[in-house]
Amino acid sequence: MRDVLYLEEIEQAEALLKPQRIEVLRQLAEPRTCGEVGAILAQTPQRVYYHVKRLVEAGLVEQVSERKVRGISEGIYQATARSYWLSPRLVGHIGLGRARDELSLGHLLDLVEEVQADIAALDRSVPELPSIGVSGDIRVPPERRPEFLAELQATLQRLFTKYGGAEGDPFKLVVACYPNQQGEAS
């Protein structure tokens, strides 16, 4: 089972975005038969199989084995991933084009989409993918925002200059700064 399956086909999204199928998919985190899933969800095995069949067609579930019960073959199914990411490209940009200004939220959304696609494309069969994620909350008074942005840009420029050569393993560095609505004081 993969950690993440990046969904780029509209058929995959359609198969996934049905509440009943999401429940079936959750139950298939562990290998199970349609009868076992049906018992958990209080559904008939036939109804569960209908949803499992659509999930298999979309590549979200796979048959991992089969067993005979009273002469009848019974499939054992499992989800293909622990989580599923929908590509923002499935919907595309709606309305006017986003601003390309580095200080705009539109640019930040484009950047997040790019990071999501890059991460989804990584080869997860590699035993260890070196990466780091850092997150923190800061408070910047409005009058000090220009100073903060200048210092942040200077710090990043020093890193890009120091490590921007042609030698070594390539990494992408992304820094995002946006208003934190949950961080508001009560």
39-91 residue pLDDT tens: 999 999 999 999 999 999 999 999 999 998 888 889 999 999 988 888 777 76
Closest to 63 measured CA to CA, from 53, 72, 71: 53
The average pLDDT across 172-185 equals 74
Q: CA 18, CA 51: separation in Å to the nearest integer?
A: 10
β partners of residue 76 = 33, 65
Q: CA 76, CA 63: separation in Å to the nearest integer?
A: 6
Question: What are 107-159's pLDDT values in tens digits?
Answer: 777 778 788 878 877 776 777 778 888 888 889 999 999 899 899 989 988 98
Check residue 27 and give its pLDDT.
97
Residue 100: pLDDT band by 50, 70, 90 thresholds?
low
Q: CA 173, CA 125: separation in Å to the nearest integer?
A: 22
What single string gives the DSSP state of each residue in the chain?
-EEEEEE-SHHHHHHHSSHHHHHHHHHTTS-EEHHHHHHHHT--HHHHHHHHHHHHHTTSEEEEEEEEETTEEEEEEEESEEEEEE-GGGT---SSPPP--TTSHHHHHHHHHHHHHHHHHS-TTSS--------------GGGHHHHHHHHHHHHHHHHHHH-SSSS------------GGG---
